[in-house]
Every structure is written in structure tokens, then in C-alpha cells.
Amino acid sequence: MKIMRCPECGSEAITENKKNISIKEPFADEVNIEINENVCTSCGSQGDFFDQNETLIDETIKNLKQKSIKNILNDLTDDKMSMSSIERALEMPQRTLTKWKNGINYPSSAGIALMRFIKLFPWLLEVA
């Protein structure tokens, strides 16, 4: 078994506490997740010493971004904008937005930022 040591002082006197944090993405929900927080009883330092929470946090953010894209696309179609006309205006490959909406493909950071701008400023499609 691997000995867990404090990265600051090298002590083995480490306790593990559960802590709730909130993660929010624009145009998506706010999600509360429970993470592990390590506390060194010798020096008092605290944090995620052993990267136990990275996978959970990354997966939560990815799911929230996917939900954000889905909500944005649903709002645009509710406003009577067709996804094919948006794709033509932005010179995107056909059915890209449908794949993003259905979770078949995952948009890049630039794609997510673009959709957020279009949600905030729909007139951008008219000048594109």
C-alpha cells in the first residue's frame, strides 16, 4: 500500500474530509458534488493532495457544457431558427449542430464559446 504523505511537510498524519462544492456553467444548471479534501494534522495544509477529485470534476464540467450546448440549441430552435440555416451562416459542416445537440459529437472550446456568443447576440447570425 502506498504511504500517503503531506506534500508540504512530509507527515503521514493526514485526514480525509468530505466537502460539497458547486459547479456552474452558463446556460446550464448548477451542480453540487461531493469531493474529498485532505488535511494534514501536522502543518494544517489542506487540499486535494492526491488528485482524487480531478476525474469527477472534469466529468461534471463536461456534462454541464454538453447540457449548456443542448439548452442553447433548444432555445434557438424555439425562436424559429433552423439549425441548418445557422450552419450555413457560420459555414459549418452539415448536421454539426444536430450532433452536438444529441451528444454524438462534443464541441471544442471554440464551438462552445461561439454558441454562447450567438445565444447572447443572435443578431451575429444576420451579419455572419
Question: Which tens digit of pLDDT belongs to each residue from 98-127?
Answer: 999 998 999 999 999 999 999 999 999 888
What is the residue-wise DSSP string for the chain?
Answer: -PPP--TTT--S-EEEEEEEEEEE-TTS-EEEEEEEEEEETTT--EE-TT--SHHHHHHHHHHHHHHHHHHHHHHHHHTT--HHHHHHHTTPPTTHHHHHHHTSS---HHHHHHHHHHHH-TTHHHH-
pLDDT of residue 7: 87
The pTM for the full model equals 0.83
